[in-house]
Structures are given as structure tokens and as C-alpha cells.
Chains A and B, each alone.
Chain A
Amino acid sequence: EVQLVETGGGLVQPGNSLKLSCATSGFTFSTAWMNWIRQTPGKRLEWLAQIEDKSNNYFISYLESVKGRFTISRDDSKSSVYLQMNNLKEEDTAIYYCTGGPLAYWGQGVMVTVSS
């Protein structure tokens, strides 16, 4: 059974940082292209970042509006993907999903609330 479990969300003040983790199992993580996608309170879905596999030199791409603030990374030995989020803004408030496949597998999501 495919499982993706996101952790690390919570309430944070504007300007602060959070690191999200996504632990996976049930599929061949090492060859999967992994993504982070968020869903705003208004239910809009927004792709944030992708990291490709080793055969593609772990190529990374970002949504322009989060480039420089968000960093995606992966650890194939732990079948996990991460999203480091710095200088958070209120508009970053959303449910954050990790996905693989790149959209075939989804986690349950983790809530991030940025508020003072």
C-alpha cells in the first residue's frame, strides 16, 4: 500500500521558518519525481516545487513566487522528501501536500498557518 505522511506543520508567525517532511512507503521512491503542492483556504491548488530522481541529477524546479524562500530536498535512503520554508508570509497559509508519481500518490496533507 502506498503511503505518504507529511509532518512539521503548525502555527508560525510571519517571517519565521518551518520544515515539512514527507515519509513515504509502498512505491519505488528512488525513481519517483516528488512534488509539494498546497491548497489555499479558498481551495485553490498551487504547485510549489519538484525534485527529480538521481538519474536526472535531482533536478529541482520551483514556482517563481516561492523561489529563494522555499527549498525542496530528498533523502532516498529514508524515502523522504522535505520542504524548508523560510520568511513565511500570511499568504503561505494552506494545506501542504507532498505528491509522487508525480500526481499519482498524495499524502493526507499538513496544515500550515502563518499568523501573528
Chain B
Amino acid sequence: DVVLTQTPPTLSATIGQSVSISCRSSQSLLHSNGNTYLNWLLQRPGQPPQLLIYLVSRLESGVPNRFSGSGSGTDFTLKISGVEAEDLGVYYCVQSTHAPPTFGGGTKLELK
């Protein structure tokens, strides 16, 4: 199975600070159809995860544009340009290029 390694495991930020989370895959996530099925989720405390970004860089409807995703192959990044209080929680990357779908271990974003 594909292993997704997220770094850092914990991220401390102040409101307004820009931060990045890395997700590295054990194999390329480029599908034979040309798509890269790498998504980002946010799980706020006490809530189910919610989809933020799909296909590496496409923003899910309703997600603020301070969130952006980039990357290709095996290396991917989620950037938050100006953290807000509602962004606190655990971020997960998830791939579905290769069966079975697998998740990263999570990055907890907390207030400094």
C-alpha cells in the first residue's frame, strides 16, 4: 500500500501567519489517466473531516482561497496564507490513485 508521510506532525502558528504542510508519497501518485488523486482534509476538534482540496490543487466549493495545494509525483504541499482561528485542527492528505486509498498520519495545527 502507498504510504503517505506528513511533516511536521505538529505546527504552531499565530493568527495571520502563513504555514505549509508537506505530504510525501512512497510512490508516484500520477494515475495512468493523467490525473493525480491527492486530496487534503481538515478535521476540526469534535468534527468529521472535511474536504479542502482535491486533485492536488482544486479548491472544494466553499473553501476559502487562503488554502492552496501544489505538488506532483511524490511531493505535495498544502499552504495556508494567513491562518485564521477556524483553521485549527488536524490536516490529512489522502491518495486514491492506487488501491487501497490511504491517508497520511495527520498534521495538527495549533495556536502558538
Binding site for B on A (CB under 8 A): 43-47, 61, 63-64, 97, 101-104, 106-109
* B residues near A43, Cβ cutoff 8 Å: 90, 106
Binding site for A on B (CB under 8 A): 39, 41, 48-51, 54, 60, 90, 92, 94, 96, 99-103, 105-106
B106, A103: Cβ atoms closer than 8 Å: no
Given contacts A103-B39, A104-B60, contact A46 B50 (CB under 8 A): no
Q: Sample 9 A-B pairs with CB under 8 A, ordered by A number.
A: A43-B90, A43-B106, A44-B105, A44-B106, A47-B101, A47-B103, A97-B49, A104-B51, A108-B48
- A47 to B39 Cα, complex, angstroms: 14
**Candidates B50, B51, B100, B105; contact of A63 at CB < 8 Å:** B100
- A44 to B3 Cα, complex, angstroms: 13
* A residues near B90, Cβ cutoff 8 Å: 43
**Which chain B residue has the least Cβ–Cβ distance from A49?**
B100
How far in angstroms is the closest Cβ of chain A from B22? Answer: 18
**Candidates A47, A97, A102; contact of B48 at CB < 8 Å:** A97
* B residues near A109, Cβ cutoff 8 Å: 48
Residue among A47, A63, A64, A103 with the highest chain B CB neighbour number at 10 A: A103
How far in angstroms is the closest Cβ of chain B from A95? Answer: 8
* B residues near A61, Cβ cutoff 8 Å: 99-100
B48, A103: Cβ atoms closer than 8 Å: no
* A residues near B96, Cβ cutoff 8 Å: 102
Given contacts A103-B94, A104-B51, A107-B48, contact A44 B41 (CB under 8 A): no
* A residues near B102, Cβ cutoff 8 Å: 47
- A46 to B49 Cα, complex, angstroms: 12
**Which chain B residue has the least Cβ–Cβ distance from A95?**
B48
* A residues near B50, Cβ cutoff 8 Å: 106
Residue among B39, B48, B92 with the highest chain A CB neighbour number at 10 A: B48
- A43 to B90 Cα, complex, angstroms: 10
- A47 to B60 Cα, complex, angstroms: 20
- A109 to B41 Cα, complex, angstroms: 16
* B residues near A102, Cβ cutoff 8 Å: 96
How far in angstroms is the closest Cβ of chain A from B93? Answer: 10
